[in-house]
Structure 1
């Protein structure tokens, strides 16, 4: 397959769920805006702390199955071996159920020490205990989503996410309106249950044949490979979650819970907008890499095609977010959160290097190099946290965003240097040209936000954004008839 054909295939796969991702993000943005108005920085900070804590427990108990299972299912599906697929899914679901029960149990046992660690008192002991219900349902829901992803039923995944997000957002807003901060825990529980019900409904549509009974010994043999790879992803996830909790505790100690709310706002925006592109791509990209993991030439083509598409789709968003960081905070949250701009502009700048390393980072997992993935991921987190901790007295809030930027820069250098030496994967000349153009435009946008004010700042920010959009559309049109698609939409 030529580079152009590979890029076209990648763009089509992204477009399949891209619309769904946009809808999902819009729902989340509206929910976030309403919650920010109702709860303020303090309430948003509590939501962020509890969400991070539950995610950490879910990851500890999950053995990384939700990620590693995708690899095994996609490899079997690529061989068109329905019997093997049904066997893997049967084993996978059995172990996901056990991990869901384990996650709920861990939450119940450690609810008191968690409350003390996170809030310096026992005020959320019972709240965290009740979140064991949420962890149980979200773990099983993640398993259903993993099966859909492994089967590359991408459109079904998108529909499931939209429906679950819409329904859970409505319930969450009603609870926050009625109970304010007391509605946080019930909201998280209901969200988990809704995700379970909706994902199960769409999972059943896959109509995967029941493999029949599998002995526990056979189940262990089948799950051992998933757990082996999943172990490394789970170590990374848990380490990241613990670092995230530690960072929030550090910020709360240095400022207060409102400071955590500002960090949560910046982090949510930086993550949310980028997931429009990366979320759509990852759904199909990782299963695809897994199916060609033993062919370095095909991997090289796939990585560069994915990098080309992600640069063209995500860079204009990044440039816009850098140039209009203050407006984004006011629009998506409120004027109370304006202090988050100091973090957001540097973190978004780091996101540019994140999207460059992102396509190549998946290769480590697709090839089953779990130790390598774990080592480089933990090293990234250590660099990030170290700069925040040791630089706080000099940089304050800015240091959180700046440390993210530096850590992402180190990450992208390591990822491609190692991949070139080990697998022969490198950034193509065409991608290097695209990267150079967007770095130039990003520099203009950042300079205008950091050092200018008034009309001239607005002019440079708008100019950089418009040029980046035009540049992206020009290159996307060489892959697909973007102009023709736009004309068709306008004629409707």
Structure 2
């Protein structure tokens, strides 16, 4: 049991470190883009990225998600080779189909996303990015499913470094006109970085084995529900950005994107270990019971202990970090970040529980959870923005996160006999109270008092995590 905690902590640290470097370099890139393009340019870039994400999620047919489970379940080298060939075939088919579909639908997509028909060329230029994103997703799931986590981490590092070095000069020279070309260049480089390592893990040669391809059509059936679930997420993001764009223009979209990216990128730096390590590990257990619950609860416990102090520190540091990472034009995002970071702490618990349905192949349950969650999120953010502006968006995320967590705990408890561990529940309560206190200090206190109280609460959060981790490890060691 002690080794289990160390294993989880190791991969949270490894991928947290990798994603931390990714975050740092991404923030440097965002800073340059924010200075060169301003809020309106950042807003337009975020709309283009959201469109690529939406089209790749839908067109990818869920292969990037279901494929990880499909490969991880295989025991022998021969079975793994067949599984990799199937995933690559489906990814290629999905990528080609999405390329054609994006080109055919370029005009209606321009009307829907940008509100006019003048961006048809922009959509057409994004079609190759959709194609390459889907192919990269297929290769990533090969690395995850086969357990090549070190190579996965290295591909992420090389990808973000290359994207920074290749795209920033484009923005410097061409300004806002470089948005679509930079997205294409970034997608190509990312694909190359992933393929370099996935080919080492599993050399190509399976694209022509169509007999195997037909044999495992179940991958597509399982991925169908994931497509719909991904569509919920991408549509929610796309619809809300479009709502802001229509309501108050691309400048507000840029402000929202600054706060959203800071929250999601920071939390994602730590939560990435769930997809790369926790999900395959949970898949290998593959049955509900004491062992299954133990894997889930240990993941929740370690995630809370590691992530929450960092989230609270970013709330306190937001008045310095946002102008530094973007520019003074983005200070309105501070009010969004204070509540959005608290919402991200809830997301860490919810995400671990959502993987229960994924690991067991219960696609309908996963689809139900995602559908309810994103519907509540979209409604909460719109209501929050109408009531309190950009700060209300963060409040809406927090309210939505609380409702989602309650729903997921009740659902997986009834459906999959999940029982929360007492230690995980207590740690969650303590850290969440500290997080709410930090957010209230950020809202109500100014001057030196803000830094003293905020810093003191962050230190308290670190102490809670250190003491709790030491107690857990010592208890498990004594029990053994």
Give the TM interval when normalised to the shorter protein.
over 0.9
Q: 2:146 maps to which residue?
A: 151
Per-residue CA deviations over 1:228-284 (Å, capped at 9, x if unaligned) read: 221111101112212221111111122111000011111100011111211133211
Q: 1:420 maps to which residue?
A: 413
When normalised by structure 2's length, the TM-score is 0.94
Take 1:406 and 1:60, find their aligned partners in 2: how far apart are those partners? Answer: 28
Is contact 2:5–2:473 with CA below 8 Å preserved after alignment? no
Q: CA deviation at 1:391?
A: 4.8
Q: CA deviation at 1:479?
A: 6.7
Where structure 2 has 5 or more consecutive residues not aligned to the other structure, the ranges are 475-480
Q: CA deviation at 1:448?
A: 0.8
Equivalent of 2:374 in 366, 374, 381: 381
Take 2:207 and 2:459, find their aligned partners in 1: how far apart are those partners? Answer: 57
Where structure 1 has 5 or more consecutive residues not aligned to the other structure, the ranges are 482-492
Is contact 1:86–1:209 with CA below 8 Å preserved after alignment? no
Q: 2:177 maps to which residue?
A: 182
Is contact 2:81–2:202 with CA below 8 Å preserved after alignment? no
Per-residue CA deviations over 1:430-452 (Å, capped at 9, x if unaligned) read: 11221222123213211110111
Equivalent of 1:62 in 60, 63, 75: 60
Change in 2 beyond 3 A, CA 1:296/1:92: same
Equivalent of 2:106 in 103, 111, 114: 111
Q: 1:401 maps to which residue?
A: 394
Partner SS for 1:324 = helix
The 5-angstrom pairing of residues 297-336 of structure 1 reads: 297-336=290-329
Per-residue CA deviations over 1:18-72 (Å, capped at 9, x if unaligned) read: 3222222211111111111111111110111000101111111111001100001
Is contact 2:297–2:424 with CA below 8 Å preserved after alignment? yes
Is contact 2:86–2:206 with CA below 8 Å preserved after alignment? no
Per-residue CA deviations over 1:72-127 (Å, capped at 9, x if unaligned) read: 10011xx2x11011001111101100111111111111112212222222332112
Q: 2:478 maps to which residue?
A: none
Q: 2:50 maps to which residue?
A: 52
Change in 2 beyond 3 A, CA 1:167/1:273: same
Per-residue CA deviations over 1:408-454 (Å, capped at 9, x if unaligned) read: 11111111122222323222111122122212321321111011111
Is contact 1:7–1:308 with CA below 8 Å preserved after alignment? no
Is contact 1:8–1:479 with CA below 8 Å preserved after alignment? no
Change in 2 beyond 3 A, CA 1:209/1:167: closer
Per-residue CA deviations over 1:286-328 (Å, capped at 9, x if unaligned) read: 1111111124222101011101110011000111122233223
Take 1:211 and 1:32, find their aligned partners in 2: how far apart are those partners? Answer: 39
The 5-angstrom pairing of residues 88-103 of structure 1 reads: 88-103=83-98
Q: CA deviation at 1:393?
A: 3.5
Residue 220, structure 1, aligned to residue 214, structure 2: yes
Q: 2:39 maps to which residue?
A: 41
Equivalent of 2:357 in 364, 373, 376: 364
Q: 1:125 maps to which residue?
A: 120
The 5-angstrom pairing of residues 176-255 of structure 1 reads: 176-208=171-203, 210=205, 214-216=209-211, 218-222=212-216, 224-255=217-248
Per-residue CA deviations over 1:203-236 (Å, capped at 9, x if unaligned) read: 12114585695335x41330x2222221111101
Q: CA deviation at 1:392?
A: 4.1
Residue 348, structure 1, aligned to residue 334, structure 2: no
Take 1:320 and 1:186, find their aligned partners in 2: how far apart are those partners? Answer: 36
Q: 2:15 maps to which residue?
A: 17
Equivalent of 1:290 in 283, 295, 298: 283
Q: 1:464 maps to which residue?
A: 457
Q: 1:170 maps to which residue?
A: 165
Is contact 1:148–1:203 with CA below 8 Å preserved after alignment? yes
Is contact 2:232–2:370 with CA below 8 Å preserved after alignment? no
Q: CA deviation at 1:140?
A: 0.9
Take 2:357 and 2:310, find their aligned partners in 1: how far apart are those partners? Answer: 27
Q: CA deviation at 1:480?
A: 7.4
Structure 1 residue runs of 4 or more that deviate by more than 4 Å after TM superposition: 208-213, 477-481
Is contact 2:309–2:461 with CA below 8 Å preserved after alignment? yes
Residue 338, structure 1, aligned to residue 331, structure 2: yes
When normalised by structure 1's length, the TM-score is 0.92
Take 1:430 and 1:141, find their aligned partners in 2: how far apart are those partners? Answer: 39
Is contact 2:72–2:145 with CA below 8 Å preserved after alignment? yes
| Cα RMSD for the two superposed structures | 1.8
Is contact 1:324–1:449 with CA below 8 Å preserved after alignment? no
Partner SS for 1:205 = helix
Take 1:330 and 1:92, find their aligned partners in 2: how far apart are those partners? Answer: 43
Take 1:342 and 1:16, find their aligned partners in 2: how far apart are those partners? Answer: 31
415-424 or 470-479, larger mean C-alpha shift: 470-479
